[in-house]
Structure 1
Amino acid sequence: MFTTRPELTGTLGMVTASHWLSSQSGMAVLERGGNAFDAAVAAAFVLQVVQPDQNGPGGEVPIVAHHAATGDTFVVNGQGPSPATLTGDALRDLGVGYVPQDGHLPACVPAMFGTLTLLLERYGTMRLRDVLDYAIGYAGAGFPTTPLTSLVINDAQDRFRTHWHSTAEVYLPGGRVPAAGERFTNKPLAATFERVLHEAEARTPDRDGQIAAARDIWYRGFVADAIDKHLSVPAMDSTGTEHRGFLTGQDVAEWQPTIERPVTYDYHGYTLAKPQPWSQGPVLLQQLALLRGFDLAAMDPLGPDFIHTFVEAAKLAFADREAYYGDPDFTDVPIDHLLSAAYNDDRRRLITGTASGELVPGRINGKIPRLPRFVHEPLDPGGEHLPIPYIVPGSGRTNGDTVHIDVVDRWGNLASVTPSGGFLWGAPLVPDLGFAVGIRGQIFNLEAGLPNSIEPRKRPRTTLSPSLALRDGEPYMAFGTPGGDMQDQWPLIFLLNHIHHGMNLQEAVDSPTWNSLHFPSSFMARASSPKVVRVEARIPLATRNELERRGHIIDVSEEWSLGMTSAVTRTRDGQMRAGISPRGLLNYASGR
């Protein structure tokens, strides 16, 4: 079949990333003798610089990885918790009836730096300076502004000039919007990274000690102090009112990144590994548990039977996400039950030949679970809105954010990394630091008593969802995509194409894509579109017509507009491969 680029093959290493400078930086680390974890950290820091509209140092970054030397598959929990004083009553006392999608109020502990440095310290081989120098170089000397970054700054320029002056100082150089392709610098961010390195190196000559010291400086030194001061000053947000933040330096100081076990599911010889249900990640596994009861290999991958079955399974799995998923430290998520054969045999009977118009979570012990009110009554946020466009071939812009990285090395280490948050449009930059604090708290539900209800020191149920697969017990593939709620739909289509239809990585990511919009969005205004399936225009017309006959509402998108999935693999003989979607116009794979 036609592919937009070749599937890369090699034996030294493979890196895929949402920006070519990131994948090239990661590959440079592998060329210098670094391992997959060194490369992933270097690539992630570069993305914070070159795609500031998609992620930043103040954001978060879940990671799923495999360490070849120990045979350990693990998750680095890269989602920071809410502040100690953030409660629903505290927001209501401010006259706020929802968690805003921007400004200071939705700020959670910025987990990005701590998560990446813990991965480097525990599993990498290089010094922090060795992997951070790439990002410092681009921030200090410049990089080409992407078309998306220019669009976002253009859309937000009035807010920056009027309300968020610290952002205007960096992102409106000379008072104007940087043009696409223009060389752009973020010298305050370069200085922040350099100061952290200098202070850490002054404490100790030891590699591990320097990494730990850098993390301490970030969370208990000048960075935390600047964040504490910044969020105590009111800033405008989407409510149309200025608010101080709840996040304090003490919240930042008390947080530590952790390493934990993934949730896994066996499917047709593959073992899929995902983060715990503080992420939406297990919803991919639930879809597999439902789909294993169908002969997908016998279906046309672009035919109505395949797409209908996929969409109906997604509706059931995402209904359970709304009913059951949340921070496991605060709610008992029955994930083993949700993945059990008996439960899915029962749920599978709800998939019929016609499109369901209901959002139906499963019953456990005969109890009907409670769904959030916004399932039936979407929120009305009011106030200002900032569009979050990204570039797609032939269409200009659509909504999306987040970035993704996959790495495999010659030793068999694998890393799947999904950085996000700390967007330049989401909150004003911390003065002198060159980055904004993440706004992931917007995903919390203000309605009390639900798994994802807002509570102090709780992690919001993030959409960020990196993926890793073992094949016949051997570490095989890291994969994922940006895309909010679609992060466990688009990569699943890729995975099924690869497993059931024999497509190589590039064929599978280039294949036409779709997604369901049936369930509520994780983001404002929590809207859902029952029965709606968004499809790329490359999906055959006969398929679309048959899906409509079965009751689906078909929303046709541009030909290359849905999904930016990437993947790397390594087989037992040391052969490595990589594939990455051309959608977005920035993604690149590097390998040798």
Structure 2
Amino acid sequence: MFTTRPTLHGTFGMVSSTHWLASQSGMAVLENGGNAYDAAVSAGFVLHVVEPHLNGPAGEVPVLVAPADGEVRVLCGQGVAPAGATVAHYRSLGLSLIPGTGPLAAAVPGAFDAWMVLLRDYGTMPLSDVLKYAIDYAENGHPVMARVGDTVETVRGLYESEWTSSADIYLPDGASPRAGELFRNRALAATWRRLIAEATSAAGGADGCRTAQIEAARRVWREGFIAHALVAQAGRPTLDSSGERHTGTLSLADLAAWEATYERPATYDWNGWTLCKAGGWSQGPTLLQQLALLPPELPAYGSAEYVHLLIEGSKLAMADREAWYGDALAEGVPLDALLSDSYNAGRRALLTGEASYALRPGRPGGREPRLPSHVRAVAEVPRPCAPGLPAGIGEPTVAPDGTTRGDTCHLAAVDRWGNMVSATPSGGWLQSNPVVPELGFPLGTRLQMAWLEEGLANSLTPGRRPRTTLTPSVALRNGVPFLAFGSPGGDSQDQWQTHFFLTVALNAPARGPLDLQAAIDAPNWHQESFPSSFYPRATRPGSVTIESRMDEAVLQDLRQRGHDITLADAWSEGRLSAVARDPETGVLSAGANPRGMQGYATGR
């Protein structure tokens, strides 16, 4: 199989992420005696600096923790809806959807606390040691990517007329960041320096307990100067994507009450592998459902029949996501039923040789699915697609219609002891909310994924998580962590990850390390026959976007099956980062996405 670069192999440690500076910072931590979790935290904070259009400290991050000598755990860094974020409140403002930008869309920030809990419980290094790389890049500058400046240009008018605190950082002297020039965010560096100073003092000085310092930093975030600045920003009337100025609902009580927590992963066994994902408050189990839908005998890898099967399976899984996934209902998500053999045998019968244009959620346990009123018509769309339906706004961070949104990052790490971690930080994008002037970063907008309708699995509910698209993965062999991977890409993440995983698993050698880079580089695709998780919640029934380097015979066959094919750039679909460890040999592997020219793996 063709590869753009070699899969890395070694025995000491590997870090893969969506930006080379984050990967190398994580590797530096490993070289200085840290473990995979120290490296992940350090890389995560660097991603906040170098990819501010893709993630930030006030965003969110689900983390899969896979220690060499313990069980896989999900660390939930997805904050909840504030106490004042009720459906009635938003409806009283004349809204039918939660805006995609502005403080009304802000959940309780989750990323920072999740990183701190990971460092406290699994790391070994002091807070100052893991934050020093992010502080240096923010204070002294890093060569900025073209996409940061491109994103700033799309919101220039908003920055100059309304979000002036963002203009102060991202439009210094009226110019957006230019590719390759040193870009600084000294306000962010000052925030981390003050946080470390206050946490160190509270923990009894530089010689104080490492854990006490981390706990003190968490209190500063939740109750100290950072909390007060975040709440003050949420209370400022802000122009958002509704075209109106609104204040948010975030309060000091919301920040003080929430903390990142652990839970068991959702799992599914497939052909000797055990796949681990976050639960049904994320879209993670859609990957498990896609595997459960596969027949015992698969078509030839890469054939049109194979691609068609994966596309149609993802449609059924995403339809179930719309009806059943979320954190709002007391009875929870019926994952046991959704992953059961009997349920998937019935669903598999829907996978015909033709493309489906309908949204078809199932009836796990005999329960009737309920879809939001905003999208019920999608379930009835005939084939071919009815004219006039809105196109999905898709990736990257700014839609063709000018709607601003953000994407995501990913990082994965493995150390010489076999500890493994997979994390998908996102939210708090530079285009999501104005920069908090005292802090150097904006609030997030994850609440836009909840519905302003009572009684749904993903209804806006105070104290409950909005369903997230963020979905890191870990795969076990014989109960041992073997592979950690993930991808940015909003609703497409688990489509791309399913194809990646199957490429790895179906082409794995009988002996020897995995060729992760070949699986990352393989031509990829995504479909949008379901409501987008992002404002304005559009859909494109029957659509499939495929990289133009896909074999022409496969494309022609898919068209004949009725798929509405859009050819994308040759290198545009999928942004995987992955690491692996063979427990029999101890050989480590890593690969990273070449698309976008910024993702890299490093290791030895």
Residue 155 of structure 1 is matched in structure 2 by 154
**510, 516, 527: which one aligns with 2:521:** 510
Q: How does 1:73-222 map to 2 (within 5 A)?
A: 73-204=72-203, 205-222=208-225
- What amino acid is aligned across from residue 265 of structure 1 in structure 2? Y
Q: Is the 8 A contact 2:406 2:431 kept in 1?
A: no
d(CA) in 1 for partners of 2:479, 2:331: 31
| AA aligned opposite 1:548 | R
SS in 2 for 1:512: coil
Task: State whether residues 428 and 445 of structure 2, in contact with CA within 8 Å, keep that contact through their aligned partners in structure 1.
Answer: yes
Task: For 1:271, give the aligned amino acid.
Answer: T
Q: CA RMSD in A?
A: 1.7
CA distance in 1, matches of 2:308, 2:344: 18
Which whole-Å CA distance do the structure 2 matches of 1:234 and 1:331 have between them?
A: 37
- Check whether the contact 2:328–2:465 (CA below 8 A) recurs between aligned residues: no
Shift in Å at residue 368 of structure 1?
2.6
In 1: Cα distance, 2:329 partner to 2:454 partner: 16
Among residues 550, 566, 577, which one is paired with 1:555 in the alignment? 566
Paired position in structure 1 for 2:226: 223
Mapped contact 1:155–1:386 kept (Cα < 8 A)? no
Report the alpha carbon displacement of residue 367 of structure 1 after superposing the two structures with TM. Answer: 3.4
**8 Å Cα contact 1:281/1:466 also seen in 2:** yes
Match of residue 271, structure 1, among 274, 293, 298:
274
Task: Look up the equivalent residue of 2:82 and give its one-letter code.
Answer: P
What CA distance in whole angstroms lies between the structure 2 residues aligned with 1:482 and 1:98? 24
Counterpart of 2:362?
362
Q: How far has the Cα of 1:160 moved from its partner? A: 0.6
The answer (yes or no) to whether the contact 2:528–2:540 under 8 Å persists in 1 is: yes
What is aligned with 1:531?
542
Q: Which runs of 5+ in 2 are unaligned?
A: 379-391, 399-403, 509-513
The question of whether the paired residues in 1 share the 8 Å contact of 2:138 and 2:184 is answered with yes
Partner of 1:243: 246
Measure the CA separation in 2 of the matches of 1:254 and 1:86: 15
In the alignment, residue 513 of structure 1 is paired with which amino acid? N
Instruction: Give yes or no for contact 2:53–2:406 (8 Å, CA) kept in 1.
Output: no
Match among 462, 471, 475 for residue 456 of structure 1: 462
Counterpart for residue 511 of structure 2: none
Deviations 1:349-403 (A, max 9, x none): 111111122111111343331112232458xxxxxx9997469xxxxxx986100
The AA in structure 1 aligned to 2:449 is: I
Match of 1:234 in 2: 237
Q: Which amino acid aligns with 1:295?
A: E
Match of 2:421 among 401, 415, 437: 415
Contact kept in structure 1, 2:393 and 2:538, CA below 8 Å: no
* Cα deviations by residue, 1:469-510 (Å, 9 ceiling, x for unpaired): 101221101001000001101011011011113371111110
| Equivalent residue, structure 2, for 1:319 | 319
Change (3 A) 1:328 1:443: closer
Please give the per-residue CA displacement for 1:492-548, whole angstroms capped at 9, x wherever unaligned: 101101111337111111010011111111112222111111110011111111111
Distance 2:374 2:523 in 1: 31
Contact 1:148 1:390 in 2 (8 A): no
- Is 1:584–2:590 an aligned residue pair? no
Quote the Cα distance in structure 2 between the aligned partners of 1:41 and 1:413: 14
Shift in alpha-carbon separation, 1:400–1:426, aligned structure 2, 3 A: closer
Inter-partner Cα distance in structure 2 for 1:201 and 1:531: 56
Does the Cα contact within 8 Å between 1:481 and 1:564 map onto a contact in 2? Answer: yes
Change (3 A) 1:365 1:589: closer
Any stretches of 5+ residues in structure 1 without a counterpart? 379-384, 392-397
Distance 1:79 1:535 in 2: 31
- Give the Cα–Cα distance (whole angstroms) in 2 for the partners of residues 439 and 259 of structure 1: 23
Task: Measure the CA separation in 1 of the matches of 2:333 and 2:376.
Answer: 23
Aligned residue type for 2:339: L
Cα distance in 2 for partners of 1:300, 1:119 equals: 38
Aligned partners of 1:113, 1:571: CA distance in 2, in Å?
Answer: 32
User: For 1:181-203, what per-residue CA distance to the aligned partner results, in whole angstroms no more than 9, with x for missing partners?
Assistant: 11110001000001110001001
SS of the equivalent of 2:601 reads strand
Amino acid corresponding to residue 355 of structure 2 in structure 1 = A
Q: How much has 1:111 moved relative to structure 2? A: 0.6
Q: For residue 256 of structure 2, what is the aligned residue in structure 1?
A: 253
Pairs within 5 Å for 1:484-499: 484-499=490-505
Letter in 1 for 2:555: R
Q: Give the aligned partner of residue 434 of structure 1.
A: 440
Q: Distance in 1 between matches of 2:362 and 2:71?
A: 33
Q: Could you give the per-residue CA deviations for residues 140-177 of structure 1, whole angstroms, max 9, x where no partner exists?
A: 00011111100001111110110011111111111221
* Partner secondary structure for residue 72 of structure 2: strand
Query: Does 2:488 match 1:482?
Result: yes
Q: Is the 8 A contact 2:107 2:444 kept in 1?
A: yes
Q: CA offsets per residue over residues 443-490 of structure 1, 9 Å max, x none?
A: 011122110011111110000000001012211010010000011010
The answer (yes or no) to whether the contact 1:233–1:244 under 8 Å persists in 2 is: yes
**Identity over aligned pairs, percent:** 50
1:167/1:388 CA distance change after superposition, 3 Å? farther
Shift of 1:431: 1.5
Task: Using the TM superposition, give the Cα deviation of residue 75 of structure 1 relative to its aligned residue in structure 2, in angstroms.
Answer: 0.6
The residue that corresponds to 2:12 in the other structure is 12
Which digits, 9 at most, give the CA deviation of each residue in 1:99-121, with x for residues without a partner?
00001101111111100000000
Contact 1:103 1:235 in 2 (8 A): yes
| In 2, Cα distance between equivalents of 1:300 and 1:36 | 33
User: Quick check: 1:570 aligned with 2:581?
Assistant: yes
> What's the counterpart of residue 384 of structure 2?
none
Distance of 1:366 and 1:247 partners within structure 2: 39
Aligned 8 A contact 2:100 2:405 in 1: no
Q: 1:299 corresponds to which letter in structure 2?
A: A
**What's the TM-score, normalizing by structure 2?**
0.93
Whether the aligned pair in 1 keeps the contact of 2:471 and 2:486 (CA below 8 Å) is: yes
After TM superposition, give the deviation of residue 331 of structure 1 in Å: 4.6
- Amino acid aligned to 1:260: E
- The separation in 2 between residues aligned to 1:389 and 1:223, in whole angstroms, is 30
Q: Does 1:522 align with 2:522?
A: no
Q: CA deviation at 1:73?
A: 0.6
SS of corresponding position for 2:199: helix
Aligned to 2:341: 341
Q: Contact 1:152 / 1:389 at 8 angstroms: preserved in 2?
A: no
State the alpha-carbon separation in 1 of the partners of residues 252 and 488 from structure 2: 30
The equivalent position to 1:401 in structure 2, one of 399, 403, 407, is 407
Q: Which SS does the other structure have where 2:586 is aligned? A: coil
Secondary structure, counterpart of 2:531 in structure 1 = coil
TM-score (normalised: structure 1): 0.95
Contact kept in structure 1, 2:199 and 2:217, CA below 8 Å: yes
In 2, Cα distance between the equivalents of 1:408 and 1:253? Answer: 33
What is the CA–CA distance in structure 2 between the aligned matches of 1:433 and 1:329, rounded to whole Å? 35
Mapped pair 1:33 → 2:36: no
Q: Is the 8 A contact 2:16 2:601 kept in 1?
A: yes
CA-CA distance at 1:330 after TM superposition = 4.1
For the Cα contact (< 8 Å) 2:66–2:420, is it kept in 1?
yes
